[in-house]
Amino acid sequence: GIDGVMFHMNCENKDVDAFIGLLDAISEQFGEYLNKLDWVSMGGGVFFTWPGYDIEKLGLALKAFSEKHGVQMYLEPGEAIITKTTDLVVTVVDIVENVKKTAIVDSATEAHRLDTLIYNEPASILEASDNGEHEYVIGSCSCLAGDQFCVANFDQPLEIGQRLHILDSAGYTMVKLNWFNGLRMPSVYCERS
173 pLDDT band, cuts 50/70/90, is low
Q: What is the pLDDT of residue 52?
A: 94
Report yes or no on 186 lying in a domain.
no
Q: Which pLDDT does position 183 carry in this prediction? A: 73
Res. 174 pLDDT band, cuts 50 70 90: low
Q: What percent of the chain has pLDDT over 90?
A: 60
pLDDT in tens, 132-171: 999 999 999 888 888 899 999 999 999 999 999 999 888 7
- Encode pLDDT of 2-19 as tens digits: 999 999 988 888 999 999
Looking at the domain assignment, is residue 44 inside a domain? yes
Whether residue 189 has pLDDT greater than 80: no
CB distance 105 to 141 below 8 Å: yes
3-state secondary structure of 182: helix
| pLDDT-above-70 percentage for the chain | 95
Q: Report if residue 188 sits inside a domain.
A: no
On whether the CB atoms of residues 147 and 108 are closer than 8 A, the answer is yes
My answer on whether 102 and 169 are in the same domain is yes
Question: Within this chain, do residues 76 and 110 fall inside the same structural domain, yes or no?
Answer: no
Is residue 31 domain-shared with residue 76, that is, in the same domain? yes
Residue 54 lies in a domain: yes
Same domain as 123, residue 94 = yes
The Cα 149–Cα 35 span in angstroms is: 48
Confirm if 163 and 129 have CB atoms less than 8 A apart: no
Average pLDDT, whole number, for the chain? 90
Distances in whole angstroms, Cα of residue 43 to Cα of each of 19, 77, 177: 12, 8, 22
What pLDDT is recorded for position 141? 87
Residue 186 CB coordination number (10 Å): 18
Residue 193 forms part of a structural domain: no
Q: Which of 32-36, 41-45, 61-65, 67-71 has the lowest mean pLDDT?
A: 41-45
pLDDT at res. 83? 83
Residue span of the structural domain in which 130 resides: 88-180
Q: pLDDT at position 182, please? A: 72
Q: What is the pLDDT of residue 117?
A: 80
- Domain end (from 80, 103, 136): 80
